[in-house]
């Protein structure tokens, strides 16, 4: 949720005019951000000042300086004069009250902006303005200095010896480094990868984000991509979504466009950029973190998007596959889903289907178990796989019915995906089922970020779509 929307919701709340949908949005924002709670309370304090001024003017009873009215002072019984004078006094009082209110509201706006600035643009150690936040690490070991989650990073170099580290930039860019890596932040939209592996996701608001390497300069055009720089400076660029422009680091040739599902390579001081086979294998550790999957335990495998994205064609009897589908999707109407509450996924009647409220920005993933080979309907042989996956955002809803999956393919499915029309979905466990019934067991954690799965598939593909809030 951006600052303008938060300020609007808070203002309407303080005016006691917030509807149920907006109240849910505000509560969700406050539940997930201590900074928002602080801003909300400060605005309530300022609103209290407004009310205090209002009561002070009301208690004056049409006088503005504590003096009696002209008729009271002269003792003249002049109803018309008294009424006119009181009306004028009330008008003056109202004008002064309005002026005070405007002044206090202006103070509130300034206070809000100041709090927002100081809360999100605080300077890291060293005094340079914060450009990014260290949002997540996994087995990370740093070179010259210690780093902890929440560190505010400004201009400067980072040496990641081992592990993974995700940086969330202020402009919405997400970058994950895989060590050993040497990375430098030059500005909010320009960085250097001297060595190591990097994956990045760039929203439309940050198009033009640049990664400089010893061999190539990479300029984003609204996309997700990976960059790998070897010890000799050889650089590979692999585009997962959208497109980028690449140019030789020391050349003057026109930039070369690299589209989704393509990859290129070059060396320092080379005179060309060569097309190579598209492969995401080297990015399989970093890319899930960039796209929002913080951890996958058990037999689960993240599949990077690429050419001919057809989930049903991926067969694996031993692992649950995870596909990242869509990001930054604005819901223009309520989205019906099968599950919205923590706990076990259980069958519900059609009339009891739940919904995610319109107005939210969401992202989606598809989890799939599709055993190798063909099975007849009712055949007990097949595959059973258990795994757990943790996301960086709250899960708003789960879609596990064939009908709902098909209906949401266009909105939430991968833009290049071909999902077909075969039977899919899950068969959730029923209360009267015996152990090892062969049905699917799915559980959403209380914090709404972790999904535990025990899937069994034979005659049909097991699929479940996970819908997340795009903003924390």
**pLDDT value at 350 more than 80:** no
**pLDDT value at 462 more than 80:** yes
Strands 210-212 and 174-187: unpaired
Does residue 126 form part of some domain?
no
**pLDDT value at 365 more than 50:** yes
Same structural domain for residues 199 and 256? yes
Which of 226-230, 357-361, 381-385 is predicted with the least confidence, judged by mean pLDDT? 381-385
Same structural domain for residues 319 and 207? no
Domain boundary residue among 66, 95, 120?
120
**pLDDT value at 378 more than 60:** no
Does residue 171 form part of some domain?
yes
Residue 25: its pLDDT value, please?
A: 76
Does residue 376 form part of some domain?
yes
CA distances to 214, 218, 276, 283, 308 from 273, in Å: 13, 12, 10, 20, 25
Same structural domain for residues 204 and 313? no
Residue 298: its pLDDT value, please?
A: 82
What average pLDDT does range 74-91 have in this prediction?
38
Domain boundary residue among 71, 91, 120?
120
CA distances to 113, 399, 440, 469 from 328, in Å: 25, 18, 30, 9
Residue 187: its pLDDT value, please?
A: 95
**pLDDT value at 408 more than 90:** yes
Residue 34: its pLDDT value, please?
A: 56
Does residue 127 form part of some domain?
no
Residue 63: its pLDDT value, please?
A: 42
Same structural domain for residues 240 and 210? yes
In which region does residue 51 sit, left (phi positive, over 0), alpha (psi from -120 to 50) or beta (all else)?
A: alpha
Same structural domain for residues 156 and 264? yes
What average pLDDT does range 439-443 have in this prediction?
85
Residue 432: its pLDDT value, please?
A: 61
Same structural domain for residues 182 and 273? yes
Residue 439: its pLDDT value, please?
A: 73
Which of 23-32, 204-213, 269-278 is predicted with the least confidence, judged by mean pLDDT? 23-32
In sequence order, what are the beta bridge partners of 361? 330
Which pair of structure tokens corresponds to residue 167? 């940086």
What average pLDDT does range 389-410 have in this prediction?
92
**pLDDT value at 77 more than 50:** no
Does residue 93 form part of some domain?
yes
- Domain housing 65: 3-120
Burial letters 181-217, b for 16+ CB under 10 A, else e: bbbebeebbebbbebbbbbbbbbeebeebbbbbbbbb
Does residue 153 form part of some domain?
yes
Same structural domain for residues 320 and 214? no
Residue 435: its pLDDT value, please?
A: 56
C-beta of residue 456 within 8 angstroms of C-beta of residue 384: yes
Contacts of 146 (CB under 8 A, 6+ apart): none
Same structural domain for residues 161 and 260? yes
Which of 127-131, 215-219, 234-238, 326-330 is predicted with the least confidence, judged by mean pLDDT? 127-131
Top-confidence residue, 299 or 209: 209
Total domains in the chain come to 3
Residue 351: its pLDDT value, please?
A: 54
Residue 214: its pLDDT value, please?
A: 97
Residue 57: its pLDDT value, please?
A: 44
Residue 423: its pLDDT value, please?
A: 77
Same structural domain for residues 353 and 323? yes
Same structural domain for residues 87 and 184? no
Top-confidence residue, 240 or 21: 240
What average pLDDT does range 425-444 have in this prediction?
71
Q: Structure pTM? A: 0.68
Percent of the chain with pLDDT over 70: 72
Same structural domain for residues 246 and 225? yes
Q: What is the pLDDT of residues 39-57, one digit of tens each?
A: 777 776 666 545 544 544 4
Does residue 76 form part of some domain?
yes
Q: How far apart are CA 173 and CA 220, in angstroms?
A: 11
C-beta of residue 226 within 8 angstroms of C-beta of residue 253: no
C-beta of residue 213 within 8 angstroms of C-beta of residue 227: yes
**pLDDT value at 375 more than 70:** no
Domain boundary residue among 213, 248, 283?
283
What average pLDDT does range 388-412 have in this prediction?
92
Which of 189-198, 398-407, 428-437, 444-453 is predicted with the least confidence, judged by mean pLDDT? 428-437
Does residue 464 form part of some domain?
yes
Same structural domain for residues 111 and 140? no
């Amino acid at each position: 949720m951006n600052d303008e929307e938060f300020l609007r919701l808070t203002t309407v709340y303080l005016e006691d005019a917030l509807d149920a949908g907006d109240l849910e949005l505000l509560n969700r924002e406050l539940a997930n951000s201590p900074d928002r709670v602080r801003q909300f309370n400060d605005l309530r304090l300022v609103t209290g000042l407004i009310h205090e001024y209002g009561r002070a003017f009301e208690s004056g009873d049409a006088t503005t300086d504590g003096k009696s009215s002209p008729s009271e002072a002269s003792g003249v019984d002049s109803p018309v004069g008294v009424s006119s004078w009181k009306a004028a006094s009330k008008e003056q009082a109202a004008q002064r009250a309005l002026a005070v209110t405007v002044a206090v509201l202006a103070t509130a706006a300034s206070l809000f902006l100041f709090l927002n600035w100081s809360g999100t643009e605080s300077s890291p150690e060293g005094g340079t303005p914060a450009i990014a936040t260290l949002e997540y690490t996994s087995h990370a070991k740093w070179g010259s200095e210690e780093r902890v989650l929440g560190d505010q990073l400004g201009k400067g170099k980072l040496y990641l010896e081992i592990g993974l580290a995700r940086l969330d930039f202020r402009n919405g860019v997400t970058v994950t480094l895989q060590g050993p890596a040497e990375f430098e932040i030059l500005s909010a939209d320009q960085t250097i990868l001297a060595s190591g592996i990097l994956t990045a996701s760039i929203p439309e608001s940050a198009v033009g984000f640049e990664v400089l390497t010893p061999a190539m300069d990479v300029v984003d055009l609204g996309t997700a991509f990976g960059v790998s720089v070897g010890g000799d400076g050889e650089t590979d660029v692999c585009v997962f979504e959208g497109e980028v422009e690449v140019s030789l680091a020391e050349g003057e040739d026109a930039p070369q466009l690299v589209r989704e599902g393509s990859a290129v390579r070059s060396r320092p001081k080379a005179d060309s950029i060569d097309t190579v086979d598209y492969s995401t294998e080297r990015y399989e550790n970093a890319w899930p973190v960039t796209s929002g999957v913080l951890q996958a335990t058990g037999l689960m495998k993240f599949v990077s998007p690429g050419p001919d994205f057809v989930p049903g064609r991926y067969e694996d009897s031993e692992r649950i596959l995870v596909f990242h589908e869509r990001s930054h999707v604005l819901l223009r109407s309520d989205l019906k889903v099968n599950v919205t509450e923590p706990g076990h996924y259980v069958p519900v009647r059609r009339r009891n289907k739940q919904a995610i409220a319109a107005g939210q920005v969401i992202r989606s993933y598809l989890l799939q178990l599709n055993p190798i080979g063909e099975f007849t309907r009712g055949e007990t042989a097949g595959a059973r796989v258990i795994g757990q996956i943790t996301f960086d955002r709250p899960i708003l809803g789960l879609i596990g019915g064939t009908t709902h999956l098909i209906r949401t393919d266009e909105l939430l499915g991968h833009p290049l995906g071909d999902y077909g029309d075969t039977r899919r979905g899950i068969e959730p466990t029923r209360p009267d089922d015996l152990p090892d019934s062969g049905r699917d067991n799915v559980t959403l954690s209380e914090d709404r970020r972790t999904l535990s799965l025990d899937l069994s598939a034979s005659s049909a593909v097991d699929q479940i779509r996970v819908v997340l809030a795009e903003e924390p």
